[in-house]
Amino acid sequence: MNLLLQNADIVTATRRYQSDILCVDGVIREIGPGLSAPEGAETIDTTGKLVFPGFIDPHVHIHLPFMGTHAKDDWASGSKAALMGGTTTLIEMCCPSRGEDPLEAIRLWKSKAAGLASCDYSFHCGVTGFDAKTAASLRTVVSDEGIASFKIFLAYKGAFGIDDTELYKTLSLAAELGVIVTAHCENAELIAESQKKLVAEGKLGPEWHEPSRPVSVEADGCHHLATFAELTGARIYVVHTSNRPAVAALAEARSRGVDVTIETVAPYLVLDDSAAALPDFEGAKYVMSPPIRSKAHQDYLWKALADGTINTVATDHAPFDFATQKHMGHPDPAKCVDATFQTTGKPGNFTLIPNGIPSVEERVKLLYTAGVCRGRIDLHTLVNCASTQAAKIFGLYPRKGAIEVGSDADLVIWDPEWTGKISVATHSMASDYSAFEGLDIQGRAEFVTVRGKVMLRDGEWCGAPGWGNFLHREPQPSHARTHAPASSVRSHPEAL
Ligand code: URP
Ligand code: ZN
Ligand code: ZN
């Protein structure tokens, strides 16, 4: 399993240079010119390719009981799909339902990954309520289970969503423990009222999902969370920001000293609200929350990524089949597929379409094709937002997110010239459709290693379920310096 990469064109968040990379016993042992391979080591000549640190997706759902159904992937298919796209570490949202104990939930979520994951992984611990036992459980989650981040939802009233007292208690505890809180920010009450009104007006199709939770509802949620973070001193990370006012509310909070980092997700960068309007219920394929916005917001997100306002690009991978699961929300009684409908006789509407898009496999290809190849971001920003920043924010750096002596040998040999199309016919995710069907892609992962083991060779899967390790993380002090965009970090290497 020792490996020598020769003639590597190494691209990190801050540097690009030519070198060889020697990996021994799962870690990078040496970086330098003219290295020789120890006996038995595999040698790969990477001439003409780019070599990136393994990519990290800090926001995925694999085991997800949600909206009356269950997301499609398990850890075998989800982690394989991640690796096929160059992602070597996943951080999954552990989402207990309200009333479930977070400690038991973390143990359950870990059991779903153990033995099946081919890539390394960690979890954000969901806090979906705060009763007398919650604080003690969360303390144990942090001290004994290797978890250093929580996940909260301001949306999904009556399911995962928490109220303001619970929010205050969660953030206060997180601040005390040095744990970062990841948050889905949308005003739950406004969504519930808008949904009721639209449904009562007979506006039932997927095209009404976005109007039921407009930009202002998300911006309000972001502002709300930032205010609570300011008063409690908690570090926050806002997941899947989709639009300018939401990001601006967080950037403004950051400028007054709130410790906030900002994520967007791949679907918002390449899809726009025209997808939800597709006929024949096709729009349901694109129902996720917050909703996919207009082109103007998409353009803004790219700029905010390039200038470092947005720190990370994740996927929010949440796969549901179109033919069955998305059809739970079909308004036509002849096409609605739902057990509730069978008993109540009431067909679906957009509020019953399971929210989420399968995307863990496509993130880096999309960022490279629509970002780097179109000049919207440079290669360093690609590495920074899709790997290094997540490692720094979530306490994995420099073990992950770096090509340094001593880092895990998680490496992606990227063919920048490869061209092809995305299709459900060739993807590894378990879902029955691709939200990016037919999209022309440039660049792909050709070789991918996880701790020195080759999982993808010449673009073909050769991985091993069970190879993935759980990554123990420690609570962290403030990470204020990780906010810098790749460009400014580059000119101040000491800022690393
Ligand atoms: O629509 C989405 N985003 N589904 C997954 C659950 C969540 O909100 O992250
Ligand atoms: Zn969410
Ligand atoms: Zn999510």
Tokens at 420, concatenated: 């092809």
Q: How far is CA 210 from CA 23, 186, 290, 403, in A?
A: 48, 12, 8, 41
Beta-carbon neighbours within 5 Å of ion ligand 2: 184
* DSSP assignments along 272-287, one per residue: -TTGGG-TTTGGGGG-
Residue whose CA is at the smallest distance from ligand 1 atom 8:
289
- Among protein residues, the one with the nearest Cα to ligand 1's atom 4 is 356
Q: Report whether 471 contacts 121 (CB < 8 A).
A: yes
- Distance from Cα 316 to the centre of ligand 3, integer Å: 4
d(CA 1, CA 376): 37
Task: Please name which of 113, 131, 130 lies closest in space to residue 122, comparing C-alpha atoms.
Answer: 113
Task: Please state, as a whole number, how many other Cβ atoms lie within 10 Å of the Cβ of residue 249.
Answer: 24
Q: Please name the residue that has the structure tokens 């691209």.
A: 11
35 Cα to the center of ligand 1, angstroms: 46
Q: Is ligand 1 within 6 A of the CB of residue 289?
A: yes
Atom of ligand 1 nearest to the CA of 239: 9
Residue 156: closest CA among 113, 93, 205: 93
Ligand 1 atom showing the smallest separation from residue 61 Cα: 5
pLDDT at 489: 38
Q: Give Cα 74 distance to the centre of its chain.
A: 16
- E strand or H helix at 411: strand 411-421
Backbone angles phi, psi at 14, to 5 degrees: -125, -20
The response to whether residue 355 sits with its C-beta less than 6 Å from ligand 1 reads yes
Left, alpha or beta for 389 (phi > 0: left; psi -120 to 50: alpha)?
A: alpha
Ligand 3 centroid vs 24 CA: distance in angstroms? 36
Kindly state if the Cβ of 434 falls inside 6 Å of ligand 1.
Answer: no
What the block records as the tokens of 20 is 């060889």
Name the residue of 128, 184, 289 whose CB sits within 8 Å of the most ligand 1 atoms, as the mutation to test its pocket.
289
Q: For the chain, how far is it from start to end, CA to CA, in angstroms?
A: 30
What 3-state class would DSSP assign to 118?
coil
- Enter the tokens of residue 436: 């990016």
Hey, what are 180's tokens?
């970062």
Ligand 1 atom nearest to 59, measured from its CA: 9
β-pairing, 453-457 with 55-60? unpaired
Could you state, in order of their start, the residue ranges of all structural domains in the chain?
Answer: 54-372
Asked if 288 contacts 64 with a C-beta cutoff of 8 angstroms, the reply is: no
CA nearest neighbour of 389 among 449, 313, 317, 316: 313
Cα separation, 236 vs 25, in Å, equals: 36
User: Would you state the pLDDT for residue 434?
Assistant: 98
Q: Is the CB of 126 under 6 A from ligand 1?
A: no
CA 363 – CA 453 distance, rounded (Å): 22
Q: Rounded to an integer, what distance in angstroms lies between the CA atom of residue 180 and that of residue 427?
A: 33
Class of domain 54-372: alpha beta
Handedness of CA 247, 253, 256, 259 (dihedral sign): negative
Q: Tell which residue, 105, 62, 98, has the closest CA to residue 81.
A: 62
Tokens of 427: 């993807």
Residue whose CA is at the smallest distance from ligand 1 atom 3: 289
Cα pseudo-dihedral 247, 250, 256, 257, rounded to 10: -120
pLDDT at 343: 72
Determine if ligand 1 sits within 6 Å of the CB of residue 184.
yes
- pLDDT, position 485: 45
Tens of pLDDT along 351-407?
A: 999 999 999 999 999 999 999 999 999 999 999 999 999 999 999 999 999 999 999
Measure the CA–CA gap between 362 and 87, rounded to whole angstroms.
10
Positions of the chain with pLDDT lower than 50, given as ranges:
480-496
The pLDDT of residue 267 is 98
| Protein residues near ligand 3, an ion, with CB under 5 A | 316
Residues in the chain: 496
Tokens at residue 358, please?
């399968």
Which atom from ligand 1 is nearest to the alpha carbon of 153? Answer: 8
Measured distance CA(200)–CA(270) in Å, rounded: 32
DSSP one-letter code for 433? -
Q: With CA atoms as reference, report the closest residue to 59 among 351, 288, 298.
A: 288
Q: What is the pLDDT of residue 337?
A: 87
HSE-CB at 240 with a 13 A cutoff on CA atoms is 30
